[in-house]
Amino acid sequence: MTESLFRFAGGIGLFLLGMSLLTDGLKDFAGAWLRDQLARFTGTPLRAFFSGFWATLVVQSSSATTVAVVGFVSAGLLTFPQALGVLFGASLGTSATGWIVATIGLKFKLGLYLLPTLLVGVFLRLLGSGRQVFLGNALSGFALIFVGIDFMQWAMQSVTEQVDLGWLDNAGWWGDVLAVCLGIVLTILMQSSSAAVATALTAVSAGTIGFEHAAAVVIGSAIGTTVTGVLAAMRANVPARRTAMAHVVFNLSTGVLALVCLPWLLVLVGYLRRGLGWDEALGLAAFHTLFIGLGVLLFLPWVQSFARLIEWMVPDRGPVWTRHLDQAVRRVPSVAIAATDRALRETANSVCGELLVALTSGQWGKDPEAYQVTIREIQEYLEKLPVAADDSLIIQERLVQLHAIDHLSRLTARLLPPFTLQRVLADQSQRGLVTLCTRALQLTQQSLMVGSSEAELHELTELAEQLRRQREENRLSAIQDSAAGKRSPAATLQLLDAYRWLDRVAAHAARVGHYLNS
């Protein structure tokens, strides 16, 4: 008995390690594809659902898909209703693991024959470079999954001979509830619903547990998997917490519905098994897909209302400009870059708005220190991104954003103007400079929030250059007036400070708009 338990524990460990390596390997190997699919094919909730389903099917991890979704919502690439569609698709996609285990892992003893694949994968990890390492991880993980299943099967057959779980059949409805609780506990302990489902599959295949209670364990695994998301999102940003809450509500509602409808679902699966000649393992995989699919059918048509409910349950009360910078998303550099881009745009837009109010009404708003703190936080987030030396696209994006941060920091410093600026604003003869600066700020805001064409960006650059030339002309005229005794040297220097302030505001605003739209 002790040896069987040790083998079973080792089998679970090998299965979990294999899933982790396979997921990481495929995620890194097909990462660009995953990001493109999620960002490209999510126009409607239905398309978002299929996007999440296929992405999860490829990388074999709903967690990887969910992390990408959180980042896309933070970065503004997906709306929250679209993200929910992807989440529903990921939940259904993760049921594919059960089909793989039931059709291949339990029918064929692949663990022994895949050991050479494990060797190849290890060699690629140790001796390869770039994408070869990712492929090595995926191959090693794939082999370890089936080695782990072989261990679990062998151990479960021994447990069947020594442990009698027949009492569950006599417990009635409470037996199903206990089996659900067992599935929840297994998922929490192993931190993987796939491992809990694989355990149920091997148990029902070996005859250790009846089909009905194995189905209840699978329901429990779907409920238990939400705990990991809740724990991960406790200190995350608002999009992550909303995603976790949506995951909890969807899986919990689907699980409770499946438990209530369990007798009818078992009858339906029984018809499928008899009609198609499936064994109990395949029937259990079908049951998993069936009840998750039922939840999708109930939630997907009402995704907009569901999104509003989750947004009401998890309101956005965090910092306005840095709410997108989720630490978990930083593991996916392309998504994190999009999040920092949005944070920079919103911060710069707010700074430009403050400056426009000051120029048009003469009233000054926030202390620039609040903006400087935000900019430093964005900069630190950007600096900590894990960037590969050969990832030229991310390196270029990072370079562009660092340029934007430099100019935005200098623009923010102009929120403390020279006191003589009020004189310039009140002097009708100087309105040309003020008008040019105001127009530059307005064009910058437009470029930040709705984007700008090449012609509009060119106009912005020309405005900054025109203001620079006008400043030089006014500067020369002011110095000549001072030399002629029309203005004191002290007043002239103060006036030149005001000219310089207007010039620098327009110049830095133009550069921020240029870099964030290049």
Q: Each residue of 157-201: pLDDT tens digit? A: 554 444 444 445 555 667 778 888 888 887 777 666 777 777 787
Residue 398: partners with Cβ closer than 8 Å, 6 or more residues away: 337, 382, 385, 387
With b for 16 or more beta-carbon neighbours within 10 A and e for fewer, the 348-364 pattern comes to bbbbbebbbebbeeeee
What is the Cα–Cα distance from 30 to 511, expressed in whole angstroms? 35
Residue 57: partners with Cβ closer than 8 Å, 6 or more residues away: 93, 96
Residue 214 near residue 205 (C-beta atoms within 8 A): no
pLDDT per position as a tens digit, 291-318: 899 999 999 888 889 988 988 888 766 5
Band (pLDDT 50/70/90 cuts) for residue 273 is: confident
Residue 74, sorted as left (phi over 0), alpha (psi -120 to 50) or beta, turns out to be alpha
Strand, helix or coil for residue 484: coil
Amino acid letter, residue 287: F
Share of the chain above pLDDT 70, in %: 71
368-383 and 392-413 helices, crossing angle to 10°: 170
Phi, psi (deg, nearest 5) at residue 365: -100, -115
Domain boundaries, the chain: 2-313, 330-516
Total residues belonging to the chain = 518
Residue 91: both structure tokens together: 């939940």
Write the burial class of residue 390 (CB in 10 Å: 0-12 exposed, 13-18 middle, 19+ buried): exposed
Residue 220: partners with Cβ closer than 8 Å, 6 or more residues away: 179, 180, 181, 182, 183, 184, 185, 186, 187, 196, 255
- pLDDT average, residue stretch 364-393: 76
- pLDDT average, residue stretch 212-220: 86
Band (pLDDT 50/70/90 cuts) for residue 215 is: confident
What's the CATH code, domain 330-516?
Answer: 1.20.58
- pLDDT average, residue stretch 18-30: 63
pLDDT per position as a tens digit, 321-370: 666 676 666 666 777 787 788 888 888 888 888 888 878 776 666 667 77
Is residue 467 predicted with pLDDT exceeding 60?
Answer: yes
What pLDDT shows up at residue 384? 80
What is the Cα–Cα distance from 36 to 44, expressed in whole angstroms? 16
More confident residue, 232 or 196: 196
What is the Cα–Cα distance from 184 to 182, expressed in whole angstroms? 5
